[in-house]
Amino acid sequence: MADSHVLRLTNVSAVCAAIPALVAVGFCGAVLGAAVFGYTPTFWQGGPLTLAEAAALRDQGEVARLIEAGADPNAEYALRPDVLAVSRATPLEAAVLARRAEIVELLMHEGAAVDERTWHHLHCVAAEIGEDDVIDAIDAYRPATAATVSCPQ
């Protein structure tokens, strides 16, 4: 009789432990089923990335693809909420704000231009963030005519 009591408690514990997994499977099944019938959940309705979003999200392949397709590496683009703490940025600004030196290098290689004003702004943003590799990446493209850096505190 004691054995049957233990068996029932074990079965109840197993069912309770399985509930979160069953809920997750059910949710995934519902999302997949909706997608099969043409409904796209709202969290998938982001649309294509802008060049600045791709730079901020560290997507080197998308950055290269967008530039090859004609996106301007010097233009300012709108950013979706939660990509960065700003609503608009150039791809270089987005790469600096996202702390991605390799994206800075890629953008410069792909035709992003840096004049004195732009370089000073990007250098100061990188210095404020405190990422040495990003500062070095920006400083590698310092215009010869750029004056000594003095960033606001």
pTM above 0.85, yes or no: no
Structural domains of the chain in order of their starting residue, each with its CATH number: 2-44 (no CATH), 51-139 (1.25.40.20)
Per the structure block, which two tokens stand in for 23? Answer: 């809920």
Report the share of the chain in percent with pLDDT over 70: 69
Q: Can you say how many angstroms the Cα of residue 4 is from the centroid of all Cα atoms in its chain?
A: 55
Using an 8 Å Cβ cutoff, are 146 and 122 in contact? no
Query: How does 40-68 read in b/e, with b if 16+ C-beta sit within 10 Å?
Result: eeeeeeeeebbbbbbbbbebeebbeebbe
Distance of alpha carbon 125 from alpha carbon 98, whole angstroms: 11
Q: pLDDT tens digits for 103-145?
A: 999 999 999 999 999 999 999 999 999 889 999 999 999 988 8
What is the spatial distance between Cα 63 and Cα 106, in angstroms, rounded to a whole number? 8
Q: Is the pLDDT of residue 100 over 90?
A: yes
Angle at 143 between CA 141 and CA 147, to 5 degrees: 125
